[in-house]
Structure 1
Amino acid sequence: MASLTHSAVSANATHLPSAFSIYNNDFLNIIGSAPKLEVILENNDYPFAHEASVYIPTSESLFVSSNLYTDPVTKEKTIKVTKVSVNAPPVTSEIINSTIPMPNGGVNHDGGILWAAQGTMNETGGLFQMSAEAPYKSELVTGNFYGRQFNSINDVVVANDGSFWFTDPIYAYKQGIRPKPQLPNQVYRYDPSTKDVRVIADGFGRPNGISFSPDEKTVYISDTAETNGDGSKDLTQPATIYAFDVTTVHGQPFLTNRRVFAMPGDGIPDGIKVDQDGNVYAGCGDGVNVWSVGGVLLGKILVKDGTSNFSFGRNGQMFILNENKIYRAQLNRKVHGTLF
């Protein structure tokens, strides 16, 4: 379908809520005939809803990690994990006793959550497998690259072959919660069956979100170097999603044909998710931006102050994190993500 201008498409969709901004008529197939956006949970005491957004379908629950903040009791910088019962009337939440050191991104795995843990000054970061049920037992899966500690693992995705692909920027060092980096800003692949870990992509300022296409022939990785990590920004640095072809050589995957996939107009593309048709979604400065497989901006789910991450639920639901709020968007009931 030919791309239409924003104004032309908006004129054809004036019945839609203002939170849904149409840039291409194909977005109408994604949001359906009755899209809706509502706040389902709010907590202004601290930024509880920042990252991860791991949806567990068996319990209709959502695990989210907070932004870094100073605990009023301990006076220490901390990140807490909250479990949210998203479809229970009313929506409820509880802070869980997580032992994950500074958790950030996460993904469904083995009935629980595979966390990307940034680590602290005294604890190594890495990938941790955590149970989705109390007492939320966790176990370190991998924490170093042949003896060199990872910087501060940011996000992780699980491939169909069981391997873990994850990004490792130096954000935690810039925030003063990790020692001086021992590795470049890179992307890794870890095979839990062989324990092999290797660099799968480099050349990033700050590698961040990562996601596969439905057929896993393409991987999308965002570079969010526009945000340095110490509170400063440099608008000349990347705020870009790159696409790579996954090529098999001698039985092992390599990333080839690096290319710019998309760049949002507002903020950085943080968390990345892909739906069943291959459309790419990213948490950006103005909300969730959605692009076609060909990199055409289809539309946006507008959220004031943007979002770092989000996740798909059942029946076209999407849960959007907004620091002190969690939104639920109702899209076309046929829309679903590729992570569960």
Structure 2
Amino acid sequence: MPRLEGILCAFTMKGEAVPPGSQQRHGLKPLTLVAMIIVAIFSVWFSQIPNAPWSMRYEDDAENFLATQLDWITGAAKKQQKLPPGACFWQQGSLIKGIPTGPSEPNCKFQVRDPEFLEILGSAPELKLVAKTDAHEGGVYHPDNNEFYFSSSRHTVSYTTLVTSSDEKPSAGEQNTEVKKISLSTGEVTTVFPVTDVANGMVLDKDGHLLICQQGQGKKPGYIQRVDVKTLNTSIVADNWFGVPFNSPNDVVVKSDGTIWFTDPVYARAQGFKSKVHVEGQLYRIRQDGVVDAMASNFQRPNGLAFSEDEKRLYLTDTGFLKGEEYDNEMRHHIYVYEVRRDGTLSSRRLLASVGIYDGSAPGLGLPDGIKVDTKGRIYVGSPDGVQVFSRSGKPLGLIALPDVVNLGFAGEKLNQLYFLNDASIHMIELQATGAGLHYASKYKKQ
């Protein structure tokens, strides 16, 4: 390696150049020795890289490129790395050789695919059961009373369930979900609205009001509802686009400029509580003056969405894989990312991740549903096998294993507690990460 030899021999104790062929010996300072080692490593590294793409269009390409080249380093380091309790490394298996894909140890709660996941978990991660209750969607932290709002799973109303203290009663055979909240101080679960128009995703606006995706049913259109959590007074923010009814609003976020963004898939028809699709699933924005704009389309089932901390990116999950009550492996199970322009419009849609199940079990493909982002740009997605975590560039970092996680949300005084909803319970883990996009709650966050 003549070029490397020349570089190394160019260093002396006094910094004087020596011809590459010289056999003269010199004492080397420690700093010089370190520099030589670094040069040697990078020279070997570069010599192994054919046609390196030095002109990168996106910074994520650079991150992925470097990560690929350093895989041999991290792979060796994994074997020596100390793992926290309950953690293990994920391993790639082989169908032909009969080697299973999945966790390297049984009963592994935290499956590590990249060392960055260990930074998120900390030294002693613990997944705690908070409550056993029907908790499906939402997942919104309200700091005023240290409460966490969510909606129940959908159920068909029978004559038995019609016995309720509510003045508004659904008809037998209709679908219903309830809006609930849990006190994070006492663990007490209370019902806020026992009857809804099939409430689903929710978020707080900048003033601390609750915004709820009401899917509607029958001939009643879906709509975005605003709730004053102190008085429980409600109002409709929007229920149509150019006079066209919404299908079944699914998930919603609020941007710092006060605009409201939500997905509108066709799940109401697919799941049998509406008979008509008015327009294929789109992503909408409600301006502060109430005007509704279609911001993106060409989805199968647009679902969860989240802005990055700086709001320069919008992440969106497409769960076409779940057609209604059935799965279709030919449909999407993807996370997309958009660039947000200065004028608020979207561009440069691209696939961030195609989501699978960590152990390859049925249904075999992931179902990326609810999605949240932390202040370092990492992405947390609810999936049938738990919460999957990705880097900003879409690199899989690891899995917090818990069956059937639908949605999730950051909470707590430091916004570092992640709560999971999986239809039957609420779980929580404290992370070395801080939730992003919580405009109202961030005002009260403790350092």
**TM-score with structure 2 length normalisation?**
0.69
CA distance in 1, matches of 2:199, 2:80: 43
The structure with the largest alpha-carbon Rg is: 2
Structure 2 unaligned blocks of 5 or more:
1-66, 87-107, 163-171, 358-365, 442-447
Selected match of 1:326 from 402, 410, 426: 426
Contact preservation (8 Å) 2:176, 2:196: no
Q: Distance in 1 between matches of 2:435 and 2:244?
A: 38
> Is 1:26–2:119 an aligned residue pair?
no
User: What's the C-alpha RMSD, in Å, of the aligned pairs?
Assistant: 1.9
Residue 398 of structure 2 corresponds to: 299
**Structure 1 residue aligned with 2:136, among 27, 50, 58?**
50
How far 1:7 sits from its partner (Å)? 10
Aligned to 2:353: 262
CA drift of 1:11 comes to 6.6
Question: In terms of mean alpha carbon deviation, does 159-168 or 172-181 score higher?
Answer: 172-181
Q: 1:312 aligns with which of 393, 401, 410?
A: 410
CA–CA distance in structure 2, aligned partners of residues 300 and 232 of structure 1: 24
Following the alignment from structure 2 to structure 1, what is the Cα–Cα distance between the partners of residues 109 and 349?
Answer: 33
What's the CA shift for 1:254? 1.9
Secondary structure at the aligned position of 2:295 is classed as strand
Residue by residue, what CA displacement relative to the aligned partner does 1:197-240 show, whole Å, maximum 9, x if unpaired? 111001000000111111111101111000001x1111111100
Give 2:130's match in structure 1, choosing from 16, 40, 43. Answer: 40
- Partner Cα separation in structure 2 for residue 7 and residue 56 of structure 1: 44
1:247-288 CA distance string (max 9 Å, x none): 23xxx3221111100122122110111001111111011111
Q: Following the alignment from structure 2 to structure 1, what is the Cα–Cα distance between the partners of residues 239 and 155?
A: 24
1:12 counterpart letter in structure 2: Q
Tell me the alpha carbon deviations over residues 11-62 of structure 1, each in whole angstroms, 9 at most, x when there is no partner: 734432231111111111111112110111013xxxx200011111121111
Match of 1:275 among 363, 374, 378: 374
Match in the other structure for 1:81: 179
State the alpha-carbon separation in 1 of the partners of residues 349 and 381 from structure 2.
Answer: 19
Which residue identity does 1:325 align to in structure 2? Answer: S
Runs ≥4 in structure 1, deviation > 3 angstroms? 1-11
State the TM-score, normalized to the length of structure 1.
0.90
State the 1:181 CA deviation: 1.0
Unaligned 5+ segments in structure 1 are none
1:57-99 deviation line (CA, Å, top 9, x unaligned): 12111111111112442343211111111232xx110112366
Query: Alpha carbons of 1:206 and 1:131: their partners in 2 closer, same or farther (altered >3 Å)?
Result: same
Q: Is the 8 A contact 2:137 2:201 kept in 1?
A: yes
Q: Which string of whole-angstrom CA distances, capped at 9 and with x for unpartnered residues, describes residues 105-158 of structure 1?
A: 01111212111111111432111111223x522110000112110000001111
How far off is 1:169 after superposition?
0.3
For 1:8 and 1:23, the matched residues in 2 are separated by 12
Once residues 35 and 197 of structure 1 are traced to their aligned partners in structure 2, the CA distance between those partners, rounded to angstroms, is 43
Map 1:153-232; keep pairs closer than 5 Å. Answer: 153-193=249-289, 195-229=290-324, 231-232=325-326
Matched residue SS, 2:382: strand
